[in-house]
């Protein structure tokens, strides 16, 4: 039984931002993340396990505001072959939230580690895993991943398509306010329609950045694109812009793959994790 990571929520005015873990990817080849860097630029600064691999957290975000319950990203979903992932349901239960309590699900992009928990079942029986929720996805990702042939090829036929056929899927064309102080924020490049979520309360801001970064070193080196970035030049430009904005506004940054709970700030051009455990 894998351990479920827990963290305290971050409060931003009336917004309660609760990191909820789906587990971790335990075997990531660092060459996939640091393909744009010279070995001496990353090797001294990167923790690797006994196999020489890097671990990536999978940290979804539960947002409470008033009576709203918004979930940002859904993890891999339960998988019999990978007990280290699919723990989101346990993490939500640990903070007193059930799947039925979620009214809105934001999918930052349609990769399996983010959309895998969005639907359950297979084939004709596949259906939304959050029975009361509407789902948001960037239109660019629907246009790219939503074609039946590509969805099948990418293993998304039972994840993305059931949301559409159940008429639960809304497509975001740009910035979109989905609750007071909660705005979808296009951050294209990792995928065509990749998006984050911007939070505002008075003068305070926070931003969930999804897969804009996979490792804290990318804050110092925004030009390093991992092999997973579909559109590297656009991804680099988006990353540079967001990091600069987060630095300028002193925003709290909430990330998906950075070490749990993945909350920090950009300070002196580097990632400074904020301890909220
Ligand atoms: Zn990811």
- Convert the pLDDT of each residue in 210-261 to its tens digit: 999 999 999 999 999 999 999 999 999 999 999 999 999 999 999 999 999 9
Residue 44 has pLDDT above 90, yes or no: yes
Which pLDDT tens digit goes with each residue over 172-183?
A: 999 999 999 999
Which pLDDT tens digit goes with each residue over 123-160?
A: 999 999 999 999 999 999 999 999 999 999 999 999 99
Ligand 1 midpoint to CA 202 (Å): 30
Ligand 1 midpoint to CA 48 (Å): 19
Residue 3 has pLDDT above 90, yes or no: no
- What phi, psi does 105 have (nearest 5°)? -120, 125
Separation in Å, CA 64 to CA 10, 11, 182: 11, 10, 10
Question: What are the extents of the domains in the chain?
Answer: 10-273
CATH of domain 10-273: 3.60.15.10
Residues 26, 128: Cα–Cα separation, whole Å: 27
Residues 97, 50: Cα–Cα separation, whole Å: 36
* Residues listed for the chain: 277
Ligand 1 midpoint to CA 25 (Å): 10
Residue 277 has pLDDT above 80, yes or no: no
CB burial of 125-150 (b: ≥16 within 10 Å; e: otherwise) equals: ebebbbeebbbbbbbbbbebbbeeee
Ligand 1 midpoint to CA 250 (Å): 25
């Amino acid at each position: 039984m894998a351990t479920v990571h827990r963290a305290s929520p971050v409060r931003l005015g009336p917004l309660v931002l609760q990191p909820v873990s789906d587990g971790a990817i335990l075997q990531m080849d660092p060459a996939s993340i640091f393909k744009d860097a010279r070995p001496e630029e990353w090797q001294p600064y990167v923790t690797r396990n006994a196999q020489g691999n890097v671990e990536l957290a999978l940290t979804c975000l539960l947002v409470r505001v008033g009576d709203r319950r918004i979930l940002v990203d859904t993890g891999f979903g339960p998988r019999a072959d990978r007990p280290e992932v699919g723990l989101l349901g346990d993490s939500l239960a640990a903070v007193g939230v059930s799947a039925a309590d979620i009214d809105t699900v934001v999918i930052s992009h349609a990769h399996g580690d983010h959309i895998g928990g969005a639907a359950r079942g297979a084939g004709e029986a596949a259906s939304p895993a959050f029975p009361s929720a509407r789902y948001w996805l960037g239109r660019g990702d629907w246009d790219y991943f939503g074609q039946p042939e590509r969805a099948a090829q990418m293993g998304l036929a039972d994840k993305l398509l059931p949301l559409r056929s159940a008429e639960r899927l809304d497509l975001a064309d740009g910035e979109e306010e989905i609750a007071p102080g909660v705005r979808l924020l296009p951050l294209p490049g990792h995928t065509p329609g990749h998006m984050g979520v911007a939070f505002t309360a008075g003068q305070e801001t926070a931003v969930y950045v999804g897969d804009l970064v996979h490792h804290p070193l990318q804050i110092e080196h925004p030009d390093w694109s991992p092999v997973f970035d579909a559109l590297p030049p656009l991804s680099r430009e988006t990353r540079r812009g967001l990091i600069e904005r987060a630095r300028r506004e002193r925003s709290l940054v909430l990330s998906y793959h950075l070490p749990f709970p993945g909350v920090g700030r950009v300070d002196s051009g580097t990632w400074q994790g904020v301890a909220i455990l």
